[in-house]
Amino acid sequence: MKVWGRLALAAVLAGWPAGAQEVFDLILKGGRVVDPKNGRDGRMDIGIRKGRIGKIAASIPAVQGRKVVDVGDYIVTPGLIDLNANFDIRRGAKGVNPDHNELRACVTTAVEGGNVDAATFAEFKTKVIDDVKTRVLVFLAADGNGEAVARQHPEIVVGFRAGANGAESAVRAAALTKTVVLGEGPGLRAGDIQTGFYRSGSRPAAAKGVVQDLGHGAAGFWFRVAAPAVKQGRLPDTLSTGLDAESVMLPRATMTNVMTKMLALGAPLNGLIARATVNPARALRRPELGSLTEGGVADVAVLETRAGSFGLLDAGHARLTATREVRCVMTVRAGAVVWDSEGLSVRHWMDAGPYSNFK
């Protein structure tokens, strides 16, 4: 019997008028939904249809879903946003594949943090952006020619990366294109993003209104800096990985790993979720991202915090032992399950039928 037939029969048996029922491609059922932008924190179901969130409610009848996934043991949040990573794949570069390294950490939107310039943007778009499931945005390197690319591709370019010699050229380009600057040094304006919040050594003072980003990477996060800062209540506005071929190995700077470190240092989980969802969406001026909103794109993270003993490393290869770990269980990108560590969305093999019918 086809799906529609099953749904219609079940509706009739339940005493409901079949034609009145919404049908969802996917229902995530029973999870603890934490959505800071919309002020949600409670048990809810999420119905997804045609890549968008169709309904969020205390209960959506399972009969209305073509596929229903029980996420009652987990935390359901907007898809995480990593606003500073490295995906440049040119020879000699340290870029990593966004799908392989971000989707499995519940990141659905990731931003290339300044390795791509006007001359290499077209190649990067073809070989990376157009070829992956992750939504990849770009901070362009400020090289004097990026303004035209930013104007031509406003759906991709979120701003400019300030160079080691200062932010002047990046600020000029961002002002002309009404975008933001990502940098580490001085010269940033209100609304720009200063990354490397817990790096070792002196850190330039930021102007009022500058967004403070964690920016882990291979050098941007040190326990000896972060631990006393968190204890004093000094937390960054946003979390990011600074992910590249070096930091993905040691110190394993994925988004869930960064969240685990901050949780171990005493930061509250709900605050970390905000710093990985709505806060970066606002910083990037992409208000359509970072929330679970009916009618919005269905980018969803299913997370778990599990107890145990977990060794964590910082940029100096020092260790911290955590008693709780933040783990990505499932990632939904534009309505499709793209990561499923427990196989929650897949039938048991004994119920799968002949393998010749596999699609």
pLDDT of residue 125: 96
pLDDT of residue 3: 37
The length of the chain is 359
pLDDT of residue 358: 56
Side-chain-side CA neighbours of 84 within 13 Å: the count stands at 31
Q: Encode pLDDT of 65-85 as tens digits.
A: 999 999 999 999 999 999 999
Query: Residue 20: CB partners within 8 Å, gap ≥ 6?
Result: none
pLDDT of residue 206: 85
CA angle 250, 140, 154 (to 5 degrees): 125
Number of neighbouring beta carbons within 10 Å of residue 29: 21
Q: Which helix (H) or strand (E) holds 141?
A: strand 135-141
> Over 214-256, what HEC string results?
CCCCCCCECHHHHHHHHHCCCCCCECCCCECCCCCCCCCCCHH
pLDDT of residue 314: 97
Distance between CA 80 and CA 283 in Å, rounded?
Answer: 14
Side-chain-side CA neighbours of 61 within 13 Å: the count stands at 13
Q: How far is CA 88 from CA 123, 131, 265, 338, in A?
A: 10, 13, 32, 22
Distance between CA 285 and CA 249 in Å, rounded?
Answer: 31
Query: Residue 261: CB partners within 8 Å, gap ≥ 6?
Result: 221, 223, 226, 312, 314, 320, 322
Under-70 pLDDT residues of the chain: 1-20, 91-92, 356-359
Q: Cβ(138)–Cβ(158) under 8 Å?
A: yes
